Amino acid sequence: MRTASQPEPSGGIRNVFRDWEGLDREFQQIQETHRVYMQKLDDVSKLQLSFAADIKRHGKNQKDLSRLMEKSRKGLSEEDAKKVDMIKSQMKEWPRALLEMEAFLPKKNGLYLSLVLGSVNVNLPSKSSKGAYKDEYEQFKLYVTVVLLVLASLCLFALSYRFVDALLNFLLVWFYCTLTIRESILISNGSRIKGWWVVHHYVATFLSGVMLTCSCRTPCFLQFLQYYYQSGCLYRLRALGQRHNLDLTVEGFQSWMWRGLTFLLPFLFFGHVSSVRNHPSVSVAAVCFVLLFLGNFSTTLAVVRHKEHCHGKDIF
């Protein structure tokens, strides 16, 4: 209680008291929200565990039933055989559907991610966050490629110093290492990146390490063209609201994809051939370049032939 000798609180301090009360109420509210949030996180992780167990059990039961159906197929009446066929055709879709559901659950990292990141969960919780991560990956490739191109041009035309050359190759080692990690995360989130492209980046990491002892120029322009093609694909698929298997059915997307590929592929194949001619004098690097040439060339051909087969289009 205030005594007579104590002065009246000034207007300023009254405002402080009033604001403090408001802040205090806000803080209590935040604490309550935090409690609810933690509770829900706890519920979600319990649900994830039981959901993952359900999926696993269901997958096993499916296999058991399929085996049983095969065994008891002999001597069935026509009606029963028809019913079995119907069950089979209905069950055919289930494994893919289960896989798609599983893509939204946390899962154990593979060996590489476990070694690099430990046991942290890298599975993104929604389709949009997976898409955003893929976008960011493509942008990352583009931005670092710009930096590499500038640095490589400086090395080539302006600064012929060993230090700048080493910096360029160090950046390449870091870039390719980062790509292998990001690609492993993308694959863990359901991306269909061919194994070769990841292997390519492991080999490129090694190669860049080797090139720290001698100089090399990489075909940056190819990465620009790839960025243009890949970001175009992503943009169109997002605009159509479709991804993966469904994209084969979208006419407009297909014709854009083939136009993009017809433009890109001659440059890619030229880049593959020119990379094999780089540095024949450095034996380790030469082996890597030959390996990269063979892998890039055959994988790109395989991708194009697969697309040609699925889309039934003659591109050349």
Q: Which residues form the interface with ligand COA (CB under 6 A)? A: 134, 186, 191-194, 197, 219, 222-223, 226, 229-230, 233, 264, 268, 271, 296, 300, 303
Tokens, residue 72:
């008891």
Torsion sign across C-alpha atoms 125, 131, 133, 134: positive
User: What residue number has its CB nearest to ligand COA?
Assistant: 191
Is residue 250 a contact partner of residue 278, using CB atoms and an 8 Å limit?
no
Which of 28/128 has CB closer to ligand COA?
128
Measured distance CA(137)–CA(227) in Å, rounded: 10
Closest approach, Cβ 145 to ligand COA, in A, equals 9
Question: Closest CB to ligand COA among 222 and 288?
Answer: 222
Cβ of residue 177: shortest distance to ligand COA, in angstroms?
Answer: 15
Widest Cα–Cα separation across the chain? 107
290: tokens are 């030959």
Shortest CB 210 distance to ligand COA, Å: 18
Q: What 3-state DSSP class applies to 196? A: helix
Cβ closer to ligand COA: 25 or 96? Answer: 96
Which CB sits closer to ligand COA, 194 or 313?
A: 194
Nearest approach in angstroms of CB 48 to ligand COA is: 23
- The 8-class DSSP code of residue 124 comes to -
Return the amino acid letter for 133.
Y
Residue in 99, 95, 105 with CA at minimum distance from that of residue 126: 105
Query: How near is the Cβ of 172 to ligand COA at its closest, in Å?
Result: 12
The minimum distance between CB 26 and ligand COA, in angstroms, equals 43
User: Judged by CB, which is closer to ligand COA: 205, or 296?
Assistant: 296
Compute CA distances 300 → 206, 259, 292, whole Å: 22, 16, 12
Residue 10 gets which letter from DSSP? P
Distances (CA, A) of 212 to 25, 101, 166, 290, 316: 60, 44, 6, 19, 40
User: In this structure, which amino acid lies at residue 27?
Assistant: F
Taking the least distance from each CB to ligand COA, the nearer of 197 and 202 is 197
Question: How many other CB atoms are found less than 10 A from the CB of residue 265?
Answer: 18
Instruction: Select 71 or 309, whichever has its Cβ closest to ligand COA.
Output: 309
Nearer to ligand COA, 69 or 187 (CB): 187
Q: What angle do CA 234, 235, 236 make, to 5 degrees?
A: 95
Nearest distance, CB of residue 292 and ligand COA, angstroms: 7
* Closest approach of ligand COA to the CB of residue 92, in Å: 22
How many Å apart are CA 52 and CA 48, to the nearest integer? 6
CA distances from 196 to 116, 142, 278, 294, 306 (A): 20, 20, 21, 11, 15
